[in-house]
Amino acid sequence: MSGDRVSGTGRIGAVLRFQAYRIANRPDMVIGVICLVALAFLVLGPLLEIIRDALSLQPYDLAYHPDGEVGSFSLFHLERVFVSPISKALFYRPLLNSLAIGVTVTAVAVSLGSLLAWLLVRTNVHFKGPLGTLIVVPYMMPSWVIALAWLALFKNDRIGGSEGLAAGLLGFQPPDWVSYGFFPIVVTLSLHYFAYAYLLMSGALATVDSELEEAGAISGMGRWQRLSRITLPLLLPALGSAVVLTFIRILGTFGVPALLGLPVRFFTFSTQIYNSINARNNGDAFVLALVLIVIAVSFIWINSRIIGVRKSFVTMTGKGFRRREINLGLWRVPLTILVWVFVLASVLLPLTILLWESLILLPGDYSLDNLTTYFWIGQGNTNLAYGEPGVLLNDGILNALGNSLKLGVSAALFNGFVGLLVGYAVVRGRGTRLSRWLESIAFAPYIFPSIALGAIYIGMFSTPLGPIPALYGTFAILVLITVVKNLPFTSRTGIAAMLQIDRSLEEAARVLGMGWFKRLVRIIMPLSASGLISGMLLTFITAMRELSLIVLLLSPSNMVVTGVIFYYQEQNMPQHSGAVALLLVLVIVLANVLVRLVAHLAGARSLASNAGA
Amino acid sequence: MSGFMGKIGGSAKAILFAALMASPTLAVSQAASPEVEAWLKAAELGPYAPEAENWDAIVEKAKEEGEVVIYSASGRIAELVEPFNALYPEIKVSVFDLGSVKTVEKTIREQEAGIYNADIVTTGNSGVVINEMLAGGMIYNYVPQAYVDRIPEENREPLLVRINEAIVIYYNTEANPDGPPISNIWELTEPEYKGRVAIIDPMTSGSTFMGVATIVQHADEMAAAYKRYAGKDIELTDGVPDAGYEFFARLLANDLVIFKSGSKLVEATGTPGQEKPLIGFAYMTYISKNQSDGFVNAIFTDLDPASKWVYPTFTAIAARAPHPNAAKLMTAYLLGSLELNKDTVLTPPFKEGKSMELLQGLAPYYDPGSVSPRSDVPLPPGGEIWDEMKGWTVSADFMQSEGPKLRDFWLLFSSL
């Protein structure tokens, strides 16, 4: 008996040892489990939290339920939002507004972006290089900066006071529908998101092999047939993703509708969530946020049903690959001019208007002798702008700029790292349930429209949560939410990068006795660097210009530049808001150039050293 | 509080309602935790306030504490950092300019989370401040003893008022050379003023929300004013409970223009050279922008039934404030010097030199639109109009019980 028991424990010990050995040799599983738990906590936890709050009485509701107990189960918010007299104002009309904006902007931005992508990738328009660089600048500009420029240009006498540029220079008042509400919201958002759609579509177009189309031509297909039977089906997944991604982001956008909608009382979902949170009426806000999430999820689901491909649309192979430019012939010059005019206008017009705004001493006076550099380098005169010193001498602004940079860099680094780990765990664990779960949950933050995620995090992290202290008002919460929100992109980049690294490389290193960490640093990181760096750069840009996501979480101790611009805009200090917005765009563009330059140089050097060896 | 309530008269229904509502909301009040109890004892606050305060000892301890953190709804508090430091270089002042909504929210969230950063919380929004924060033990009332006799009771109980301000209506003097274009407030609901009346978004501006609530609470006076104006009883729109609400229902139906900020609104009403400028509800203190920004605004001072809607900004010490003595010292500073009395002659500029030394924390608010809680402060130039204008106030209980309904009403009637 005793011998049996000994051998029994010995067997168990052996099994455990074997399992330990297996686990130690499956770092992807260890990482996978850790990532899965952490992400479930950061993504699903908040979701449960807001469902709970949405279904229970909140302190604010006591006015209607004086005898109610805070925290007790209640359908009060659901009733209010869906079937009460205020539902129409609180829910249905903002919903229709948000959907109308979402559909229109998506249609405009995706068609524009695809058209430009096609022109730049597949045709022989002139000066593609600089055009390709310039065209992404609108994506680096916060969309509401374009809205600021719009207001400066088309403000009319409905909101009185100093005249807008158009009224001041041309002497007529733009009608309300041009100045505020649906139309300008659609235009300004489209001017931002076309660049986003361009980025998504140009990537996909670049990977469509021209040989496939040529094969079609050889088998007697006409131009239209080739387009409809070969090119479009190949692009459809990318197009579908572009539509879904753009649409969901627009649903969650807050800055533009807040700026352009209020003067004509045009409310959207995001502005209603913001108002409810501000009134400390969390119940309503959370129900609205949940509806947004449901819309986003159904949109993704419909997309995946129609197109059938949810995941990667990139069809890179190791085989021969050619891309042939279509000769535009007679159209080449006019199209080149058209594209250039459009891109230059969408980049330079807002920036020029903001620059002008920032140089005007008395708002509304557009004569040349009313120009001043006071708002840039003034020392702070109590008679002007509440004595706020000029932008370049203003500690508050420089501080916020520092915070924004800190946020951008830390989010990019964390995202790069987490994205790499997720990519590693997903790719090396391919086929396992863990891998599938991890991949889905890393994509999950995408379904949270920005403003909704902000609303959730404010509720979740305002009190200590297990080992995590209350993060409300800290810088950490900004980094956390930015990392989580950008995870779908970076994990996708991580997965794509890992897919390109064959297992055999790691196996060879293991045979040589390299530990996992060393393999990560010496093999995986260098090989995936280029993909990761572009992913991180994208995170950096997004983080720097983010407002919707963090507007609810900002306080003076963690103020970032976008918050400052919003504040100046609300305080009616157009010169300051214009100047700071310009400064922000400048910093983002510069950082972008700098990183690309460094990456380029580093790439060149490593290439050179390889050649030397 | 009782004197305060007595003044309201007004909507009987509303008061009955407020009284009904008062008990459940006040029941939120909890017994202080042992930690708070210990803090109160050490800070000599609340039940542990001594018979006679030793001010010199407080100043000494404040200097040892070396810092004071203020959560403020008003940005102008930041102007006090330098002059305060000239007096007390040992004490670092950190001002968080949060606006009223965020001040309340941040304080409540931090108190609930057990984060004790703030020493002083100064903000409006009486409903939440008194019924939730004070009753919930998140803030404590503190009036420096030397000031008690100089401040009328309604301005220091249940909570010390730092400054009284008001929502008023502005018009453009250049476009109205013959004086105020209207004399009864109901005229603003006429077709003539379609799209020409403006207000700051009450959904985001706590002070404006209080102004709107004040008018709603005085529904009976509003009904009487309508009868004086139209010569008949008011007919209420479907679903509107009384004449107070009806006024805003009609304003909104008359294409009321909503502004995000008060400075933008007074710029809109007051910029010279406009053909048909807006008329707008905004903070009275912005009349001083006439000098600083060259506006041509005037205030309606003689409107039927009232021309100013007063909202107090309170100041209190946050529960478990890390620097309670510095907070006491700052509270006294915010109330102005004890040397100040009715006969003091103050000369502009008020934010410099001798005037600053006397006014202290009152200096940034020394204008016709802001009134000290003290009864012994000389009026600022132009300050006479404050007393000339008929004004209303809103009760904290009404704010608490009716506030959410008013918000719903606004949401319903303001959306198109």
Q: pLDDT by residue (tens digit) across A166-188?
A: 887 777 788 888 889 999 999 99
Residue B14 above 70 pLDDT?
no
Q: Name A67's Cβ contacts closer than 8 Å, sequence gap at least 6.
A: B24
Cβ neighbour number for residue A128 with a 10 Å cutoff: 17
Please check whether residue B204 touches A, CB under 8 A. Answer: yes
Of residues A426 and A100, more confidently modeled: A100
pLDDT averaged over chain A?
81
Q: Mark yes or no for CB contact B416/A275 under 8 Å.
A: no
B21/chain A closest Cα distance in angstroms: 7
Residue B386 counted as domain residue: no
The pLDDT value given to residue B1 = 33
Contact between A116 and A191 (Cβ < 8 Å): no
Residue A269 above 70 pLDDT?
yes
The pLDDT value given to residue A528 = 78
What's the pLDDT band for B210 if we cut at 50, 70, 90? Answer: very high
Please check whether residue B240 touches A, CB under 8 A. Answer: no
The pLDDT value given to residue B21 = 38
Domain span including residue B404: 166-310+392-414
B295/chain A closest Cα distance in angstroms: 10
Of residues A140 and B314, more confidently modeled: B314
- Find the closest chain B residue to A280 by CA distance: B105
Are B402 and B287 in a shared domain?
yes
Residue B17 counted as domain residue: no
The pLDDT value given to residue A17 = 79
Are B39 and B62 in a shared domain?
yes
CB contacts < 8 Å between A and B, how many?
137
Q: Mark yes or no for CB contact A556/B21 under 8 Å.
A: no
Tokens 């999820």, located at residue: A297
Counting the structural domains of chain B, the total is: 2
- Find the closest chain B residue to A274 by CA distance: B204
Span B143-172, average pLDDT: 95
- Find the closest chain A residue to B76 by CA distance: A386
- CB contacts of A574 in chain B (<8 Å) are none
Of residues A254 and A326, more confidently modeled: A254
Q: For residue B139, which phi and psi values (nearest 5 degrees)?
A: -135, 160
The pLDDT value given to residue A515 = 79
pLDDT averaged over chain B?
88
Span A316-342, average pLDDT: 74
Are B288 and B245 in a shared domain?
yes
- Find the closest chain A residue to B414 by CA distance: A265
Which of B142, B145, B146, B147 is closest to B159 using CA atoms?
Answer: B142
* CA B365 – CA B77 distance, rounded (Å): 9
| B positions 81-140 inside 8 Å of A (CB) | 96-98, 101-102, 104-106, 108-110, 112-115, 128, 132
SS3 per residue for B95-159: EEECHHHHHHHHHHHHHHHCCCCCCEEEECCHHHHHHHHHCCCCEECCCCHHHHHHCCHHHCCCC
Which of A149, A37, A68, A38 is closest to A480 using CA atoms?
Answer: A38
The pLDDT value given to residue A604 = 56
Look up the CATH number of the domain holding residue B241: 3.40.190.10
Domain boundaries, chain A: 25-60+385-613, 91-357
- CB contacts of A267 in chain B (<8 Å) are 415
Are B298 and B187 in a shared domain?
yes
How many Cα atoms occupy the beta-carbon half-sphere of B70 within 13 Å? 30
Of residues B205 and B326, more confidently modeled: B326
Are B28 and B100 in a shared domain?
yes
Q: Mark yes or no for CB contact B204/A275 under 8 Å.
A: yes
Residue A494 above 50 pLDDT?
yes
The C-alpha R_g of chain A, in whole angstroms, comes to 27
What's the pLDDT band for B222 if we cut at 50, 70, 90? Answer: very high
Of A63, A158, A571, nearest to B195 by CB-CB distance is A158
The pLDDT value given to residue B180 = 95
Span A5-12, average pLDDT: 65
The model's pLDDT over A212-250, given as tens digits with 9 standing for 90+, comes to: 777 888 888 877 788 788 878 878 878 888 888 889 889
Of B110, B274, B351, nearest to A160 by CB-CB distance is B274
Q: Name A348's Cβ contacts closer than 8 Å, sequence gap at least 6.
A: none
Are B82 and B179 in a shared domain?
no
Please check whether residue B277 touches A, CB under 8 A. Answer: yes
Are B204 and B220 in a shared domain?
yes
Of residues B43 and A15, more confidently modeled: B43
Span A37-50, average pLDDT: 84
Choose the most confident range, by mean pLDDT, from A121-135, A527-541, B136-150. Answer: B136-150
Please check whether residue B232 touches A, CB under 8 A. Answer: no
Span B71-90, average pLDDT: 90
Are B396 and B250 in a shared domain?
yes
Residue B84 counted as domain residue: yes
Please check whether residue B239 touches A, CB under 8 A. Answer: yes
Confirm whether A25-60+385-613 and A91-357 share one CATH topology. Answer: yes
Please check whether residue B253 touches A, CB under 8 A. Answer: no
Are B30 and B128 in a shared domain?
yes
Residue B378 counted as domain residue: no
Are B129 and B181 in a shared domain?
no
Of residues A568 and B236, more confidently modeled: B236
Residue B282 counted as domain residue: yes
The pLDDT value given to residue A7 = 58
Which of B146, B247, B134 is closest to B188 using CA atoms?
Answer: B247
Please name the CATH architecture into which domain A91-357 falls. Orthogonal Bundle (1.10)
The pLDDT value given to residue A367 = 74
What's the pLDDT band for A306 if we cut at 50, 70, 90? Answer: confident
* CA A158 – CA B48 distance, rounded (Å): 56
Are B230 and B111 in a shared domain?
no
The pLDDT value given to residue A603 = 66
Q: Mark yes or no for CB contact A462/B263 under 8 Å.
A: no
Query: For testing the chain A interface, which of B101, B125, B132, B408 should be mutated: the one with the most A CBs within 10 Å?
Result: B408
What's the pLDDT band for B227 if we cut at 50, 70, 90? Answer: very high
* CA B410 – CA B234 distance, rounded (Å): 20
Span B115-137, average pLDDT: 90
% of chain A at pLDDT higher than 70 = 90
- CB contacts of B195 in chain A (<8 Å) are 158
Residue B338 above 90 pLDDT?
yes
May I ask the CATH class of domain A25-60+385-613?
A: mainly alpha
The model's pLDDT over A248-259, given as tens digits with 9 standing for 90+, comes to: 889 888 889 988
* CA A471 – CA A579 distance, rounded (Å): 31
The pLDDT value given to residue B102 = 78
Are B271 and B176 in a shared domain?
yes
Of B109, B277, B404, nearest to A63 by CB-CB distance is B404
Query: For testing the chain B interface, which of A58, A62, A383, A395 should be mutated: the one with the most B CBs within 10 Å?
Result: A62
What's the pLDDT band for A606 if we cut at 50, 70, 90? Answer: low
Residue type for position B210: M
Q: Mark yes or no for CB contact B98/A160 under 8 Å.
A: no
